[in-house]
Amino acid sequence: MANILRMALYEFKSFIKDKSAVFWTIAWPILWVFMVAYVFMPVGGAHMTLRVAVIDNDEGLPPSNASWSIPYLNMTVKKNFTSLLMDAFNRLNGSNGTIYKVKVLKNTCNGNFSGCLSVAKELLVDRGFDVAVIVPENASKSLAMWAPVRIALLVKGAMPTETYMRYGSIMSVLGNLMTNLSMRRADAAAHMVTSFYSRFSGTANSSGTRWNYTNANISLKTMERYIKYFFYSIAFPLYPKLDTVRPPTTADRAGQIGWVSVGAVGMSLMTGLLTAGAGFFIYRKSNGVLKRVLSSPATLLELLGGDLLSAIAITALSATVILGTGIAIGGRIVFNALNPGHYLAVALIFVAGIFAYGLGLLIAPTVRSTHATGAATAIGLMLVFLTGIWWPPKEMLPTPLQAFANVFPPACAFEAVRDLLVWGKGVAQTYWNIVIAVTGTLTLYAVIALIYRGRAEKIAEKLL
């Protein structure tokens, strides 16, 4: 055992003298923590910028001396449609986490709809706009006549989620405008009905029946209010109140950085140690060290033990530095020396590291050149992205990948570490993650033992 420890010490020294290994295992994940913390999660909260092009063909409000009457025009429409739309953008700017950058383009397509459509598409595809709103020539006139305004909306999105987000954002502006217009129309309608009563009360209609408003208990003013509410209820049969509840992964900046820092440790181990395991034979073959070991009384399994202990030391170093960086830039990673669950979290980081190394050992017999170990790095990277160890969080993954992440031991280990150190949960709340991480790692090493037992030297010889 003593010689294994000494081998581990020198293997570890060899690792820390390898600048590229140190970069990939420590510096690179730290770089990611900084990038995610300051680029994707800016201080003060994230804002989505929506660039909106309004293709305005509106001819404006009809003149007040128009041949047809516009009932209560002043009560319903005082501005043309585009001005009202801009008011809505201004009301919402910044309030729902979106900054609308709106550009109104006049006389770009002469009111021709297909022409406007082409212009709108060009604006989205070539000129960096996210949303285009085509306002027809009769928009304000329709408003004035209490008719629906038929606008066209184009939303750019490379992926469905992106499209939905932009659509939701622009619809919140249009919803605000619709609410505003509906209320104005309801007010005007109520006023109109009440005026009708007051004007025709006591007069006979065409069939000789007399209108007579005699209910002394309800004044006309009260009646107008009742009618107004009635119209409101038609305009807004539902009035949902929106309140957002964010999952812990995005709830607050401290939690986000904590989450990302733990993920960065995962990335470091899944790339660095997986590659170290995969290169166990080939790194030693290329400089003759493998031959020296095989010719010595030390067995390959002893060397492997030393290398594994060195991998654990690397894990400790990498995790300490990365989590320390996360804490330093405001991440919430809490280690309470009196909480046994937190020691368990530390142990789980080692479990994940040992698993990653083991995964590398599984492919080590097939690795025939030092260049081929790059494939191990690629596998490690794929795994951190596909199992929620890094980004995106597990809950954002497609269902089949979520199912895989739910049983992938390192993903479970890091889920448990986040639960314990970042979200402050108890062991009982992340029990299954711990069970899967530990049993999965033990199973992997049972498989490795089956492959290597009595055959390690033969595997090595094949690679010589």
Partner 1 sequence: MTNDLKYAIECLNLSKKYPDGTEAVRGVTLRIPKNTLTTILGPNGAGKTTLLNIIAGVTPPTAGSVRILGEDPWASRRSRALLGFVPQEGGVWPRLNVYENLMMAAALHDVPPGEAKARARELIDVFGLKDHVKKAAAKLSGGLRRRLSLAMALMHDPPIVVLDEPTTGLDPGIRLDFMNLLREMLKDGKTVLMTTHISEDAEFSDKVIVMNEGLIVAEGTADELRLKALGATSIVEVTVALREHVTKAHELLARLAEEAYVVQPLTIVCHVRNPDEALPRIFKALERGSIDVKEVKVRKPSLSDVFRALTGRSLEEPLRGGG
- Does position 39 interact with partner 1 (CB under 8 A)? The reply is no
Near partner 1 by CB under 8 A: residue from 171, 251, 289, 435? 289
Distance CA 384, CA 270 (A): 7
Quote the least distance from Cβ 11 to partner 1, whole Å.
8
At position 191, the amino acid (one-letter code) is H
Q: Which of residues 228-287 bind partner 1 (CB under 8 A)?
A: 286-287
Distance CA 151, CA 209 (A): 45
- Does position 291 interact with partner 1 (CB under 8 A)? The reply is yes
Q: How is residue 153 written in tokens?
A: 């909306």
Which span (7-15, 105-113, 231-239, 250-258) binds partner 1, by CB under 8 A?
7-15
Quote the least distance from Cβ 295 to partner 1, whole Å.
4
Quote the least distance from Cβ 462 to partner 1, whole Å.
8
Distance CA 333, CA 254 (A): 9
Quote the least distance from Cβ 287 to partner 1, whole Å.
6
Distance CA 320, CA 158 (A): 39
Whole-number Cα distances in Å, 99 to 46, 79, 390: 10, 24, 28
Q: By rule CB under 8 A, what count of residues binds partner 1? A: 28
Near partner 1 by CB under 8 A: residue from 212, 219, 296, 443? 296
Quote the least distance from Cβ 284 to partner 1, whole Å.
9
- Does position 368 interact with partner 1 (CB under 8 A)? The reply is no
> What phi and psi, each to the nearest 5 degrees, are found at residue 216?
-75, -20
Which span (12-20, 145-153, 234-242, 416-424) binds partner 1, by CB under 8 A?
12-20
CA 403 to chain centre: 19
HSE-up (13 A, CA, CB side) for residue 74: 1
Q: Which is nearer to partner 1, 12 or 81 (CB)?
A: 12
Q: Which is nearer to partner 1, 22 or 170 (CB)?
A: 22
Q: Which is nearer to partner 1, 203 or 287 (CB)?
A: 287
- Does position 453 interact with partner 1 (CB under 8 A)? The reply is no
Buried b (16+ CB within 10 A) or exposed e, 290-319: beebbeeebebebbbbbbbbbbbbbbebbb
Quote the least distance from Cβ 274 to partner 1, whole Å.
20
Which span (8-16, 100-108, 259-267, 382-390) binds partner 1, by CB under 8 A?
8-16
DSSP 159: S
- Does position 121 interact with partner 1 (CB under 8 A)? The reply is no
> What phi and psi, each to the nearest 5 degrees, are found at residue 180?
-60, -45
- Does position 23 interact with partner 1 (CB under 8 A)? The reply is no
**Full DSSP string of 373-421:** HHHHHHHHHHHHHHSSSSSS-GGGS-HHHHHHHHH-HHHHHHHHHIIII
DSSP 107: S
Quote the least distance from Cβ 286 to partner 1, whole Å.
7
- Does position 292 interact with partner 1 (CB under 8 A)? The reply is yes
At position 285, the amino acid (one-letter code) is K
Strand partners, 210: 204
Quote the least distance from Cβ 350 to partner 1, whole Å.
23
Q: CB 47: neighbour CB atoms within 10 A?
A: 12
Strand partners, 133: 54, 153
Near partner 1 by CB under 8 A: residue from 298, 327, 396, 397? 298
Please give the residue ranges that form the binding site for partner 1 (CB under 8 A). Answer: 2-3, 6-7, 10, 13-14, 17-18, 286-289, 291-299, 303, 306, 457, 461-462, 464
